[in-house]
Chains A and B, each alone.
Chain A
Amino acid sequence: MRLVAAELVQSREILPRQWLQSYHAPELATGTRAGQFVHVRTGDYSGLVLRRPFAVNTADAATGIVSIHFRSVGHGTEWLTRVRPGERLEMLGPLGRPFEIDPRNRHLLLVAGGLGMAGIRLLVDEALRDGRQVVLLFGAATTAEVYPSSLLPDEVEYVVATDDGSLGHRGLVTDLVPGYEAWADQAFACGPPTMLATLARLAASRGARLGVARLGRKRGGGRQPALGSPAARRRAFLQVAMEQTMGCAVGACLGCVVTGVEGPQRVCREGPVFAAEEIAWEPAG
C-alpha cells in the first residue's frame, strides 16, 4: 500500500457512460493482484471529500500501465472522465485482498454482472498466464452494455446473457451457471448483490446436486483453516468481490462493511474478495 502519482495515458468511453482509463503507475502495475483496488483522489477537494475506489482492471508490469473501468454516475466519476492524458492523479494502492486460486485447479468459472466486469477482468489475465482454462459468463441489460469481446484475451470462452435477449442467452447470467458447474473447479464472481446471492446459493447446493464426494478427509479429521484466511478462501468453490461505499480504504473508518456470518467485514481490508460462505446473504425473495 502506498501513495502513487499515476499519469493518465489513455481514456475512452468503451460503452455508454462506461470509461476505461489507463494510467502509468509502475508501482501499482507490478504489485497488484486480481481483486485488489486503488483509492483515487479526485480534483475538487473542497466539495468531494472522499476518494473513489476502483478495482484494478488490468495491470501490465512490462509497460507500467494499470487501467480502471468505471461508470460515470456522480460528481467524482464525472470529474474523472474529464481528466486529460498527461495529468497526474494520486492513487492509494494496491488495497484489499485478492482472489485466491487453488493452484491445483485447472477450470475456472468467472461470472460478471454489468460493471462487475471491472472487478474480475484482471483475474482473466492471471488465470490464463498460469495456463488455466477460463469461462467468463457475462450478464448485462442489453447489447449496448455488453463488454466488448475485443477487450478480452482470445483464450477466454466468453458467454453472454442479456435481460432483453438482444444478445446471447435471454435472461439472467446466473441461468447459465448450472451448465458449467460440473466442469468448473472453482468460481469467481463480481456484480450486483442479488447476482452474488444467487451464485452463493448455487454454490452452497452444488456439492449435493452434483453428488460431489468429500474425499480424503475423515469426519472431524484434518485442521480446517480459519474462515476468511487465504487458505480457506483457496478451498472455497466460490469467491465474490463485494462493493460498498467507502471512506478511508485502509480499515480505519469501518465505513465499508458488509454483513458477514462472523459480524461486520470491511470490504477494504478483509475484502473486497470474500469466500461466499463468509457473507451473510440476504434470503432469496
Chain B
Amino acid sequence: MKARKRVTTAGATGSRPARASDRPRRTPTVRTVRSAIVPVDRRPRPPIGGAPQSPGRAASAAEDRGPAVDLSVDLAPGRGGLRLENPVLVAAGTFGYGVEYGEVVDIQRIGAICSRGTTLQPRVGNAPPRVTETPAGLLSSVGLQNPGVEAVLERYAATWAGWRVPVIVNIAGGSIEDYVAVARRLDGVPGVAGIELNLSCPNVARGGLLFGIDREGAAAVTAAVRRATELPLMVKVSPNVADVRPIALAIEASGADVISAINTLPGMALGPDRTGPFLGTGYGGLSGPAIRPVALRIVHEVAQVVSIPIVAIGGVTELADVLDYLAAGAVAVQVGTAIFADPALPVRLADELAAECRRRDLASYRPLVGTALPRRPGAPSARGVEYRP
C-alpha cells in the first residue's frame, strides 16, 4: 500500500483544498493566471491568538499587529495539494537538504524547501574551486554533488516527514530514464512533498543538448516524470534560450503543476593571474541580484502564456523583489543566493509580505499577483517581439 502523498500542514487537516474541478486547467490566456491560484482555505481565518498554531512557532512581531493575512498558497491544487504556509521558498542548491541551517534559522516557517539537486547515482561533483563572488552575483559550479537518491532518502526522509515545512526534492539526470527512476523512488515517500525538475542537464541521448533549452527534451522528460509519479511536479525553466515561452507551454502541456523560473545563467570569472578560469570547471552558473532583471522578464513572459502557477527565482534580497515578481505574475518566490549572506531572509520576507498586505488592507497577498501583466490578452508584449531584433 502506498503512503499518502498529500502534504498536511497545520490548519489543513479536515478541509480538503479546492480541487481541479473548481477551475479550468491549462487555458493559456492571460486572464486565467489568477485563477491558477486557488485559495487553500476558503474559510475566514480566526484572528491570531484563536488560530491553532503548532508549538514552536514564534509569532513574530509583525504578526502581532493587525488582522491576519492569508499568505498560504496551494501550488498544485489539482494534484492532492502542495500547500505552503507562505509563498517564500528556498531555492535548490542553496539550502542543502534543509538540515544544515537548522541551528540558525527556524526552518519550519519557510514556505517550502527545495532540496539540493539529487540524482539516481551518487555524484562527487566538480573540481574546486566551485564558487566565486562576481558583481552582485555568485558564480558557482558545484556539479550536482549529492549522495544519490537512495542515500538522500535514507538520511533525510524521516526527518522531513516530521517537519511542517514541505520539502520539494529537486532532481536531475543525464537521461529521461534517470529522471523517471528518481521520481519513482520519491513517489509515495512520506516527507517528500513534491518534485522539482532541474532541466539544466545534458541529455546524453541527444548529444548532450540540455533538456531545458530543447523544447522536445523538456516536454519529454516532464511527461515521463509525470507518468512516473503522482507527486506535485514543479519544472524549472532555463533562461538560456531565445524564447522561453514555447518551452514553458510544452512543459505545461506535458503535465507540470508548477513552473519555477529561472535557473542560473552561464558565466565566467578569471583566476587572479588571468592565465585561466577561476572555477575548477571553467564556466559556472550565475545567480544573485545580477540576474534579477532577466528572471523578471522571463516570469513576465511565461505568466502570459501558461495558466499553471509560476514560482520566481533570481536574486530575491528584499521585499521589493518579492513584490516585483508577484506583480510580474509569479505566485511565489524562491530565495537562493541571498541566504548565504542572510539565512533568516526567507522567514523575514514572509513576515514583511504579511505586513505589506496589512498596510494595503488586503486579507491575502493574491491581489498583488499579476498587476504588471498586460490588461488585454494579445497586447504587444505577449507576442514578445519588441525587444528582439
Question: Do B142 and A254 have beta carbons less than 8 Å apart?
Answer: yes
Interface residues in B68-96 (C-beta closer than 8 Å to A): 93-96
Residue picked from A3, A49, A245, A251, most chain B C-beta under 10 Å? A49
Interface residues in A127-182 (C-beta closer than 8 Å to B): none
* CB of A202 within 8 Å of the partner chain: no
* CB of A68 within 8 Å of the partner chain: no
Instruction: Give Cα A16–Cα B124 distance, bound, in whole angstroms.
Output: 40
* CB of B339 within 8 Å of the partner chain: yes
* CB of B132 within 8 Å of the partner chain: yes
Q: Which residues from B are CB-within-8-Å of A224?
A: none
Instruction: Give Cα A2–Cα B343 distance, bound, in whole angstroms.
Output: 11
* CB of B209 within 8 Å of the partner chain: no
Question: Do A49 and B289 have beta carbons less than 8 Å apart?
Answer: yes
* CB of A232 within 8 Å of the partner chain: no
* CB of B46 within 8 Å of the partner chain: no
Question: Do B95 and A49 have beta carbons less than 8 Å apart?
Answer: no
Question: Do B341 and A41 have beta carbons less than 8 Å apart?
Answer: yes
Q: Which residues from A are CB-within-8-Å of B289?
A: 46, 49
* CB of A252 within 8 Å of the partner chain: yes
Instruction: Give Cα A2–Cα B105 distance, bound, in whole angstroms.
Output: 9
Partner among B96, B124, B142, B341 whose Cβ is within 8 Å of the Cβ of A251: B96
* Nearest CB on A from B372, distance (A): 22
Please report whether the interface of chain B is mostly helix, strand, loop or mixed according to DSSP: loop
* CB of A92 within 8 Å of the partner chain: yes
* CB of B104 within 8 Å of the partner chain: yes
Partner among B124, B125, B129 whose Cβ is within 8 Å of the Cβ of A245: B129
Partner among A50, A249, A258 whose Cβ is within 8 Å of the Cβ of B128: A258
Question: Do B145 and A254 have beta carbons less than 8 Å apart?
Answer: yes
* CB of A246 within 8 Å of the partner chain: yes
Question: Do A2 and B103 have beta carbons less than 8 Å apart?
Answer: yes
* CB of B127 within 8 Å of the partner chain: yes
Q: Which residues from A are CB-within-8-Å of B138?
A: 49-50, 247
Partner among B101, B116, B136 whose Cβ is within 8 Å of the Cβ of A49: B136
Q: Which residues from B are CB-within-8-Å of A2?
A: 103-104
Instruction: Give Cα A251–Cα B104 distance, bound, in whole angstroms.
Output: 13
* CB of A197 within 8 Å of the partner chain: no
* CB of B387 within 8 Å of the partner chain: no
Instruction: Give Cα A41–Cα B340 distance, bound, in whole angstroms.
Output: 9
Interface residues in B119-137 (C-beta closer than 8 Å to A): 124-125, 127-133, 135-137
* CB of B342 within 8 Å of the partner chain: yes
Interface pairs A-B: 4 shortest CB-CB: A252-B96, A255-B131, A252-B100, A49-B288
Question: Can you list 14 A-B pairs, Cβ within 8 angstroms, ordered by A?
Answer: A3-B344, A48-B133, A49-B136, A92-B343, A250-B100, A252-B100, A252-B101, A253-B94, A253-B96, A253-B140, A254-B96, A254-B145, A256-B128, A259-B128
